[in-house]
Structure formats: structure tokens, C-alpha cells
């Protein structure tokens, strides 16, 4: 029963990612690229929780780097008040993500502990890019 549940969860996660990417195309889909590479390199029959964890963490860390770069760009605009407000929202956003993804992991299952933050960080990159443009 647990294997079936995990397989269904993995399929749902793939569907969510693919649907989100179809609606909001971002740079290359870091997560899907990682999943495809690992499945191919390790000759796996399909995605599993370990792949979700590794690829979620990989993509999240790359999105986090982009967030830092975007915040640095905002800082250099020469408007300290605007930057301070964005940094305040950044701290609040981080608290929200931590709690919301804890909830998702507790309710949906362990793959969400990594997958949820990745999605939130991807969305935050998009938000910050809008602030710059």
C-alpha cells in the first residue's frame, strides 16, 4: 500500500510540475531536467522519492542563488527604503515558506518537504524579477 501511495504521489508531483511549467514558463525547468538526467543515468524505471528529494534540493539551491542575485540588483537601484521593504517581505516570505512546506510535508508526505520549497523559491524568483522590470 505504501509503494502504491508513493508512486501515486510521485505521479501527482510530476503532473503538478508539468502543469505549473506549462502555465508559467521560467528559464529551463531545473527540476524536470534533473529528474530526466538522474533517471537516464541510473537507468531507473521511473521517478522515486530519492529522485524527488535530490532534484528538489538541487533546483531550490539554484533558485536561492537567483533570489540573492535579484535582491542584490534591487539593492543597487539606490532606493534604500524600497530595498528595506523588500527585505522585510523577504524575511516574512521565508517564515511562510518554512511553515507552509512543513504543513505540506506533514499532510501530503515526505517528498513535499523538498518539493514545496523548490516551488516556492521558483515563484519568488518570478516575483522579484517583476520588481526589477
pLDDT tens, position by position, 46-87: 999 999 999 999 999 999 999 999 999 999 988 899 999 999
| Domain boundaries along the sequence of the chain | 2-132
Residues 92 and 96: their CA atoms lie apart, in Å, by 6
83 or 22: which leads in pLDDT: 83
pTM of the entire structure? 0.76
Neighbours of 127 (CB within 10 A): 13
Mean pLDDT score of the chain: 84
pLDDT of res. 133 = 81
83 Cβ contact partners less than 8 Å away, ≥ 6 residues apart: 74, 75, 77
Q: Do residues 39 and 51 make contact, with C-beta atoms less than 8 angstroms apart?
A: yes
pLDDT tens, position by position, 6-17: 444 444 444 444
Amino acid at each position: 500500500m505504501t509503494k502504491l501511495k508513493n508512486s501515486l504521489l510521485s505521479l501527482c508531483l510530476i503532473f503538478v510540475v508539468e502543469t505549473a511549467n506549462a502555465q508559467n514558463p521560467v528559464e529551463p525547468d531545473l527540476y524536470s531536467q534533473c529528474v530526466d538526467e538522474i533517471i537516464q543515468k541510473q537507468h531507473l524505471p521511473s521517478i522515486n522519492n530519492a529522485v524527488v528529494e535530490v532534484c528538489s534540493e538541487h533546483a531550490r539551491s539554484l533558485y536561492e542563488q537567483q533570489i540573492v542575485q535579484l535582491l542584490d540588483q534591487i539593492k543597487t537601484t539606490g532606493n534604500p527604503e524600497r530595498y528595506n521593504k523588500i527585505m522585510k517581505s523577504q524575511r516574512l516570505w521565508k517564515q511562510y515558506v518554512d511553515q507552509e512546506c512543513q504543513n505540506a510535508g506533514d499532510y501530503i508526505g515526505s517528498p513535499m518537504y523538498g518539493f514545496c520549497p523548490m516551488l516556492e523559491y521558483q515563484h519568488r524568483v518570478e516575483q522579484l524579477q517583476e520588481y526589477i522590470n
